[in-house]
Amino acid sequence: MTEKEKMLQGMMYDANYDAALIAERLACKEKCRDYNDLRPSDMAARERMLNEIFGKCAPGAIVEQPFYCDYGYNIEVGRNFFANFNMVILDEAKVVFGDNVFVAPNCSFYTAGHPLDAVERNKGLEYARPITVGNNVWIGGNVCVVPGVTIGDNCVIGAGSVVVHDIPANSVAVGNPCRVVKSITEPGTPTT
């Protein structure tokens, strides 16, 4: 089994020294560099480049520059997706965003995790767990989502939150660690 196959199956794998994975990350970094260098007004070129980077990208997605990811092919974005400046996605596993997702500046989505044992960690080993963000989700600025988290439909994640557990649908959640503070019961109702 290759290290990439292990990575995609959620097994412990060699992230630091596997030549094939290093080459794939380097190729993606080059694409991200090209994307980040595009003129902000050239929306057609930006959309074409996102389709080269992402595994699946609904038409009209907007990702403000700069943007960074590790592989790109594990990222899927739905319709009406918007991400503001400085989004980082470590997509060793799938990262799936539903329709109508809005991501504020400086947000990070990390599927990669590392062993607690220093000997294993120093061998360059890591694991990856998918992240899923449902439909109609608003993620506030400076939010960090860690490996294996699912954020349900119609959620609002407050600025500065560190999302370490699943967030059920129709929730307002905030904090470090992020926790549900309010249920959204009526569609279209203000959450303040």
Q: What residues are labeled active site?
A: 114
The sheet with strand 13-14 has its strands ordered as 13-14, 125-128, 112-113
- 26 φ/ψ sector (left φ>0, alpha ψ -120 to 50, else beta): alpha
Q: Are 128 and 10 in contact (CB under 8 A)?
A: yes
Peptide bond into 40 cis (omega under 30): no
Distances (CA, A) of 189 to 157, 169, 174, 183: 16, 15, 18, 11
Residues facing 172 on adjacent strands: 156, 182
Q: Are 157 and 142 in contact (CB under 8 A)?
A: no
DSSP 116-127: SSHHHHHTTEEE
